[in-house]
Amino acid sequence: MAVPDYKPSDVAQIPLELKHVLQLVQDLLMVCTGAAGVAIALGNSDAMHCVSSVGDAPPINIPLQLNGTLSGHCARTGKIVSRRPSRSLASHQGPRSVLLAPVFLHS
C-alpha cells in the first residue's frame, strides 16, 4: 500500500484512523516518559506542521520553524536529538529536556 502524500498544512485531510494512532502514540509517550507534553509533526525537511499535540506542546496546525532549530536539525539529518538545558537555564521556565525522533515513511 502506498503512503499518502500529505502536504504539511493539510491536517484536515489526515484520515481519522491515523489521527487515532497519533493520539495513542502521544499518550503512550506521555505515560512512558513522564513528559509534560508531546507533539507530532508531519512534513519533510523543508516544511513541517504539528498534527497532534497534548500537554505542554505546540498547538495543532502550527508550522515548525526548521531553520536553526533542533526540529530542523532532526528533520535534515534524520537522527535522534536529545538535549538538556545548562544548569543556569534549568531554573527558568521551559522544558527540562527535549527528545526529538524522526520517523520516515516510504512507499
Long-range CB contacts (within 8 A, 24+) of 77-84? 78/102, 78/104
Handedness of CA 37, 43, 46, 49 (dihedral sign): negative
> Which pLDDT score, from 0 to 100, does residue 46 have?
82
pLDDT by 10s per residue, the chain, length 107 = 344 455 555 556 777 788 888 889 999 998 998 888 999 998 877 888 898 899 888 899 899 899 998 888 998 899 999 887 666 555 556 667 788 988 877 65
> Which pLDDT score, from 0 to 100, does residue 88 have?
59
> Which pLDDT score, from 0 to 100, does residue 75 have?
87
Spatial neighbors of 25 by CB under 8 A, at least 6 apart, are 40, 52
Question: The whole model's pTM is what?
Answer: 0.72
